[in-house]
Amino acid sequence: MSKVKVGINGYGTIGKRVAAAVSKQEDMEISGVTKTRPTFEAQTALDMGFDLYVPEGSLKAFGSAGMPVKGTIKDLYKAAEIIVDCTPGDVGETYKAEYEAAGIKAIFQGGEDHSLTGISFNSTANYSESWGAQFSRVVSCNTTGLLRTLFPIDRKIKVTNVYATLVRRAADPGDSKSGPINGLEPIVKLPTHHGPDVKSVMPWLNINTMAIKASTTLMHLHTVTAELQKESSTEEILEIMRASPRVKLIKSGSGLKGTAEIMELGKDLGRDRSDMYEVVVWEDGVKAVGRMLYYYQAVHQESDVVPENVDCIRSMCKLEEDACASVSKTNKALGIVR
């Protein structure tokens, strides 16, 4: 079987993880990645065996740094069948006209607006909506985490209202430029954009969100309060979560008290870069009381969208019609086991 050729535009936090994840699949391969400057990440990409494509204006800098380049970013459009655009937020949209002109498919990330593509993607909730599409957008890390738990609960027991507070990591671990160093910053423009982002996939859901930036780099933590259409029980909710893809139930009592221990678990599981692809829910912190449901979940911002990008490639390139089958293939290749 010939493999679908995937190009990565923007080999940063998300791009390098998607490149590694694609390389592990049987039905797709990396045809090249882009870098704008000859940094250590560009060298690592070469060391991993990826071909480098760079902006025309950067060819000289890569030459001076002694880093072999396969071509310009526009040359990558000829070598690949689909681009996963992992450039910083709002930069992706500047590439859309180029992808359109080259007639190539492209996946954008959560830093772009839903209106850029008109389709936003989540593997469990709407895999088939991106079937054969030229453009789609994998929603942000927080939205992916919320959809992973809310969609299966809504499918079994209708959810009438959701109020969620997102305690957000201030910066990624490798980012030395941004974030509060010692403090908490509320996002005062309410409700925050996260609720509407969830609605880009579940338009019928009443959800409102608040957010606080915290001086941590490890993970985000959500507190979710959901009003259900009918009374439920904690055990019924846990059963739904246990059966949901990429939801990992943990117990605080087992020592997994917070995000630090969850990242340690990622290391112990031998995951690439100690990534935790699943949304992590504290089983002993789930509580259903009548029609009200309360739970906490943690989101590894650097990696939870990675398997969704792989599934989105399968849907857009018509590699696998069945969402569950794609999720299983991706999970197996990435070592996501229950």
Between the CA of residue 30 and those of 8, 16, 44, 197, 208, what are the distances in Å?
8, 11, 15, 29, 38
Instruction: Judge whether 324 counts as a catalytic residue.
Output: no
Cβ count near 190 (within 10 Å): 11
- Residue from 197, 302, 308, 311 touching ligand NAD (CB under 6 A): that is 302
Look at residues 86, 76, 41 and name the one whose alpha carbon lies nearest to residue 56. 76
Is there binding between residue 13 and ligand NAD (CB under 6 A)? yes
Binding mask 116-155 toward ligand NAD (x if CB under 6 A, else -) reads: ------------------------xx--------------
The span from the CA of 38 to the CA of 35, in Å, is: 7
| Helical spans, DSSP H, in 135-294 | 141-156, 194-199, 234-242, 259-268
Q: Which residue in this structure is represented by tokens 């996963």?
A: 84
As measured in angstroms, the least distance from the Cβ of 9 to ligand NAD is 5
Cβ count near 93 (within 10 Å): 17
The span from the CA of 157 to the CA of 154, in Å, is: 5
User: Of the ranges 202-210, 233-241, 288-296, 297-305, which one interacts with ligand NAD (CB under 6 A)?
Assistant: 297-305
Is there binding between residue 36 and ligand NAD (CB under 6 A)? yes
As measured in angstroms, the least distance from the Cβ of 86 to ligand NAD is 5
User: Of the ranges 23-31, 107-115, 145-153, 271-279, which one interacts with ligand NAD (CB under 6 A)?
Assistant: 107-115
The span from the CA of 28 to the CA of 4, in Å, is: 4
Which CB, 275 or 320, lies closer to ligand NAD? 275
What secondary structure does DSSP assign to 179-222, as a single string? S-SSSEEE--SSS-THHHHHHTT-TT--EEEEEEEES-SS-EEE
Nearest residue to ligand NAD on Cβ basis: 12
The span from the CA of 115 to the CA of 113, in Å, is: 5
Which CB, 6 or 240, lies closer to ligand NAD? 6
As measured in angstroms, the least distance from the Cβ of 90 to ligand NAD is 8
Marked catalytic residue, from 141, 312, 317, 324 = 141
The span from the CA of 302 to the CA of 13, in Å, is: 6
Window 83-102: residues binding ligand NAD (CB under 6 A): 86-89, 91
- Residue from 280, 305, 312, 334 touching ligand NAD (CB under 6 A): that is 305
User: Of the ranges 13-21, 154-162, 257-265, 317-325, which one interacts with ligand NAD (CB under 6 A)?
Assistant: 13-21
Look at residues 279, 291, 286, 147 and name the one whose alpha carbon lies nearest to residue 220. 279
Which CB, 39 or 233, lies closer to ligand NAD? 39
- Residue from 8, 9, 116, 237 touching ligand NAD (CB under 6 A): that is 9
Catalytic positions, written as ranges: 141
Q: What are the residues binding ligand NAD (CB under 6 A)?
A: 9-15, 34, 36, 86-89, 91, 109-111, 140-141, 172, 301-302, 305
